[in-house]
Amino acid sequence: MRTVLAREMGGCSVLGRIWGVWRRRPGVRAVPKAPGFGTEAGHRLRSRGSSKRSRPLGGQPFPELLQLENLSREELVDVLRAAVVDQKGKPGELTLFSVLPELSQSLGLGDQELQVVQASGKETSGLVLLSSCPQTASRLQKFFIHSRRAQRPTATYCAVTDGIPATSEGKIQAALKLEHVDGVDLVIPVKSPSRKDFQEGVKRTLSHFRVVAMGSGCALVQLQPLTVFPSQLQVHMVLQLCPVLGDHTYSAHVGTVLGQRFLLPAESTKPQRQVPDEALLRRLCLTPSQAAQLPLHLHLHCLHLPGMRPGEAPMKLLAPLPSYFSRTLQCLGLHQQ
């Protein structure tokens, strides 16, 4: 296993960058290259902020998050040199796909077209893999498919959860379906699915989780999806009664009575802003209005890839944590053991 920069692999210009998109208003977060990116040092989760406890934040609690309405196409292409945004979008919407031709030209690739090889959900920060080489892209996509069939994880996410899983590690299995509810596409768990359910779009999903650190009623969790489904990791953590911090869609499915958590019916529970309790707000040094803007704390930290040439060792691509994620770890006292 060798750890490499995501920018060049085998001369095929496979690109990997940190990315992030704001939920209500599509945006792009510019993240400078960090010293640990693409190195073994970057593999260690660490807080990069001050050693002192963070002070309350001002009017803009997450300054790295930019809004697309404030960017021109040229500025977005410049930002994409260091950050990649949502892989899908509505017609006419300013997204990664809509500016891939300009990005290709900006990177000096000439007539070579860039395509997305691997990406996570649009609210998730971390790595996105682009390729200008069709053969490399096809080979990598086949690698990911074969790995899933063999239940070999290729991606590792970091998450901060509101709540602590009952066990330190394990597997989460659930049958999920995608439903359009009140104008919103939502992922719904299905109990005891029938053969007809699977014929109508229900999918079996599987993820592995491991608790890395605990503190202040929260946990730092490593997640490895072994299947692919929209919002899979968020829903899986809700099923553990530990929603991801900043999950303003599915965290509403977890209710609390007399300090005990329970699942609410997903079909009848509308998405709403996550509301951390007062103790957690104090630890995070956030006001309720700032907490309503809390980004999803789910980060694609590591991708495992095969060697690009016969006989080459496998590779590992790494993305350091965003500064807001590191700040949260510092505030909550969550550190890798």
Per-residue pLDDT of the chain (337 residues; tens, 9 = 90+): 555 433 333 333 333 433 333 332 233 222 333 333 333 333 333 333 344 444 555 556 665 555 556 667 776 666 665 544 333 445 566 676 777 788 887 878 877 888 888 877 778 998 888 888 888 889 999 999 999 999 999 999 999 999 999 999 999 999 999 998 777 889 999 999 999 999 999 999 999 999 999 999 999 999 999 999 999 999 999 999 999 999 999 999 999 998 899 999 988 888 999 989 999 999 999 999 999 999 999 999 999 999 877 788 899 999 999 999 999 999 999 986 5
Which two structure tokens, joined as six digits, stand for 197?
């359910």
- Of the candidates 240, 265, 236, the residue with the CA atom closest to the CA atom of residue 253: 265
Which sign, positive or negative, has the C-alpha torsion 29, 30, 35, 38? positive
Question: Which residues are CB-neighbours of 150 under 8 A, at least 6 positions away?
Answer: none
Question: Which residues are CB-neighbours of 37 under 8 A, at least 6 positions away?
Answer: 5, 6, 18, 318, 319, 320
Helices (H), the chain: 73-79, 96-106, 134-149, 195-199, 232-239, 278-284, 288-291, 323-332
The answer to whether 98 and 89 have CB atoms below 8 angstroms apart is yes
Beta bridge partners of 227: none
**What b/e sequence results for 123-133 when a residue is b if at least 16 CB atoms lie within 10 Å of its CB, and e otherwise?**
bbbbbbbbbbb
- The three-class DSSP label of residue 65 is strand
The answer to whether 133 and 12 have CB atoms below 8 angstroms apart is yes
pTM of the model: 0.76
What's the pLDDT at 52?
44
Which two structure tokens, joined as six digits, stand for 139?
């080979």
Which sign, positive or negative, has the C-alpha torsion 181, 300, 97, 247? positive
- Of the candidates 249, 248, 253, 275, the residue with the CA atom closest to the CA atom of residue 264: 253
- Of the candidates 122, 121, 123, 143, the residue with the CA atom closest to the CA atom of residue 131: 143
Q: What are phi and psi of 182, to 5 degrees?
A: 50, 45
What's the pLDDT at 98?
76
What's the pLDDT at 61?
64
In this structure, the chain runs to a length of 337
Helices (H), 206-322: 232-239, 278-284, 288-291
Distances (CA, A) of 230 to 83, 225, 321: 22, 11, 22
